[in-house]
Structure formats: structure tokens, C-alpha cells
Amino acid sequence: MLEVEHLYTEYPNANGQIVKAVQDISFKVPQGVLFTLLGPSGCGKTTTLRSIAGLERPSSGEIRVGDTVLYSSLKNIFVPPNQRNFGMVFQSYAIWPHMSVFKNVAFPLEVGKKKWSKQDIDSKVMRVLDAVGLGQEAGRDSTKLSGGQQQRLALARALVMEPKLLLLDEPLSNLDAKLRERMRFELKSMQKEFGLTTIYVTHDQGEALAMSHEIAVIQSGKIAQIGSPRSIYESPENQFVANFVGLSNFIKAHVLGPVENDFYQVRTAIGDFEVSSIETLSGGDEVLLSIRPEDLQWLPESHSQKNMIQGTINFQLFLGDFLDYQIQVGDQEFLARVHPSTILAVGSQGKFGFEPNKCLALR
């Protein structure tokens, strides 16, 4: 298990000002879990990963793998990166262009502390190359590989050392959309097959939701929320998480009072609604309602229900497997994501409803 406790990283920038890159980051990653650090550029996710790898020395905190302390400010411990036995794949892949595919993977074994026989090196290299689907490319010039193959080569080089921990820093960001989607499945499959404890850094919400067992959403150097992909998406704890992970419509409201079973009646500028909340609310509380676009369901003109909005269709976007409509309701704009068979004319009136459990009140 990887344990990161109260990690802080601060450093002066070019103007001498203190940059608080990481502020009190704590999390635990059990054996065999793919744990994702998700957030916008500059939020501290890569700094956290590099601190785990030993490529940066934090200001304070502690990092442990099992019973081994890798870094502790209190105990004055800092294990160098080459002694941590971690595999790491960077955004750039860092493939050695003058080496063949085989030599790229063999090199860490040839220069490592442990001395391997040629037979053992050959066996280990071919095993991981076969695992990533590059067994037939062993003798090929590494620069002649496609982007997806280079990504798998970088992964094979990280796996050949049988690392305690695999660290992946935006490994798919240089690939085109279709290849990136395919590589998500391949990476997830290999992570499961090898049983690797993996820390994955990305700013891509879809990537994080598709691949992770658990996600830590990071905002300005702090963890905003940790949870499973489904809980992060369906039950965000604040506006940042709701807005960053997927799309959401937000409406200001104040609470009129409880209804039952964690549901509340609220009043907004466009009407009264029944909504849900993770936290206990009281009458008079100011809240922000979050409704996912796919949870706004188009209603026929004759239909009515408890939670309903009606407005003018401003525009539509056809995106293949769904349609996006922008609806103007008073001064409020809503985005509704519906099945492409729902055809509504721009400029016409549209009626949409949502279930109380699909509208979350955030403080």
C-alpha cells in the first residue's frame, strides 16, 4: 500500500514569490488499485507524482510504501529515486532513438544494481514485449513505431523492472482521440493483468472516469474530493468538482425546508423545486443546485411533473450519439443532452423535467 500523509511542496518562483504547489495532500492506495490524480494544469497533481517518484523533495510530510518510509520530513528520510524501484511513464515517453525496441526495454536491466544474465534479460524483455503486443517488433528501430506503439514501449520499459509502483504522467495526451480511447482499454487491461498499484495523472475527466478505481480531484494544490468514479460524478461535494468532472447546470437557490429522506424544497428565480442533498440543510440556507445535462429530460407539451422548466431553444449541436440543446429560461441558460431522435426547432419552446434525486444542492 502507498500512503501519502500531509504532503506540502513550496518553492520560490522567478520573482522570489513562494508558490504553494501542494498543500496538505493525504491519500492511501491499496495494492493493485489504479488511483488517479485529476485536475487542471498547475493544480499540483504532477508535483505530487514527482514527489512520490523521488524526483522532487517536498517541504514536509511523509510517503510510505508498505513498511518502507521513502520520505519523511520529521525523520529526515529521503530515498533517492533510483532506489525506490518504481516504474514511470512520462507524457513524452522518453524513448531512446538510437536503440531498437528490444534494447530500449533491456537497458534498465543492463544498468541496474542487480546483475542479470543475458538469458534472464532476454526472457524478461520478451515477456513484457509480448504482454504489450510488441513481441514481433523487438528488432525494429524504436523511432519507426507509431505513437501508440511508442506509448506501449515506454510502458514495457517501466514494467520490465517489476516495479512496486507504476507512475503514469499524462501518458495518453500525445495520441489522437481514437487511439487514446483504445489505449485506455489496453492500459487498464495490463494494469489488471500485472496487478500493479498505479498512480495515474491526467487532466482528462473522461480518461479518469473510464480507467480509475478511485479518483482524487485536486484544486489549487489541495484535494477537493476523493471517491470512486461514479461517486465523484454523481455526488460531487462542491461546485468545482461538479463543474470540472463532466458538465453541469448551476442555479442559485435558498432552502424552504425539508421534504423527506434527504430531499428539500428550494426556491429559485425560475421556480420552486424538490432536490436532494448529501449534507443536512436547514430552511433559509443558500445553496447552488447542480443538474447534469443528461438528467434534463424532454417532456411532451401535455406532460407536467414536479420539477420542470420551460424555455426557448437557443441552439442545438448534433454530436452523433446525442444532441445538445441550449435552453433560455428567463436569465438562466441550461444545457440539455438528449437522444438524437428528439428533434426540437431552434426558436421553439421546449419543456424539460428532472427527478429530485438528479438535482443536487451544494452549499
Q: Are the beta carbons of 274 and 356 closer than 8 angstroms?
A: yes
Q: Is position 363 within any domain?
A: no
Q: Is position 362 within any domain?
A: no
Q: Is position 268 within any domain?
A: yes
Domain boundary among 240, 275, 294: 240
Q: What is the mean pLDDT of residues 229-250?
A: 93
Same domain (yes/no): 169, 254: no
Give the pLDDT confidence score for residue 93 in this predicted structure. 66
Give the pLDDT confidence score for residue 62 in this predicted structure. 96
Give the pLDDT confidence score for residue 145 in this predicted structure. 85
Structural domains of the chain, count: 2
Q: What is the mean pLDDT of residues 283-308?
A: 91
**How high does pLDDT run on average in the chain?**
89
Domain boundary among 193, 212, 240: 240
- How many other C-beta atoms lie within 10 A of the C-beta of residue 332? 16
| Residues contacting 214, CB < 8 A, separation 6+ | 29, 33, 34, 35, 36, 226, 227, 228
DSSP 55: S
Q: Nearest-5° angle of CA 195, CA 227, CA 356? A: 140
Inform me whether the pLDDT recorded for 153 exceeds 90: no
CATH of residue 15: 3.40.50.300
Inform me whether the pLDDT recorded for 60 exceeds 70: yes
Inform me whether the pLDDT recorded for 91 exceeds 80: no
For the ranges 92-101, 212-221, 316-325, the one whose mean pLDDT is highest = 212-221
Give the pLDDT confidence score for residue 39 in this predicted structure. 94
Same domain (yes/no): 147, 79: yes
Residues of the domain holding 279: 247-357
Same domain (yes/no): 14, 73: yes
Same domain (yes/no): 236, 272: no
Question: pLDDT tens for residues 93-115?
Answer: 677 788 898 988 888 887 777 78
Inform me whether the pLDDT recorded for 282 exceeds 70: yes
Q: What are the distances in angstroms from CA 103 to CA 83, 106, 119, 319? A: 22, 5, 14, 44
Can you name the residues that pair with 166 across neighbouring β-strands? Answer: 87, 198
Same domain (yes/no): 26, 78: yes
Same domain (yes/no): 303, 332: yes
Same domain (yes/no): 207, 308: no
Q: Is position 14 within any domain?
A: yes
Q: Is position 85 within any domain?
A: yes
Question: pLDDT tens for residues 73-84?
Answer: 999 999 998 888
CATH of residue 270: 2.40.50.140
Same domain (yes/no): 158, 251: no
Same domain (yes/no): 224, 273: no
Q: Which residue has the higher pLDDT, 299 or 16?
A: 299
Same domain (yes/no): 15, 146: yes
The residue among 249, 258, 254 whose CA lies nearest residue 269 is 254
Same domain (yes/no): 146, 225: yes
Give the pLDDT confidence score for residue 346 in this predicted structure. 92
Same domain (yes/no): 48, 176: yes
Q: Is position 198 within any domain?
A: yes
Packing angle of the helix pair 147-159, 177-194 (nearest 10 deg): 20
Give the pLDDT confidence score for residue 163 in this predicted structure. 84
User: Model confidence at 187, in pLDDT bands (50, 70, 90)?
Assistant: confident
Helix (H, G, I), strand (E, B) or coil at 13: coil
Q: Which residue has the higher pLDDT, 13 or 274?
A: 274
Give the pLDDT confidence score for residue 177 in this predicted structure. 78
Domain boundary among 240, 271, 286: 240
Q: From the centroid of its chain, how far is CA 79?
A: 28
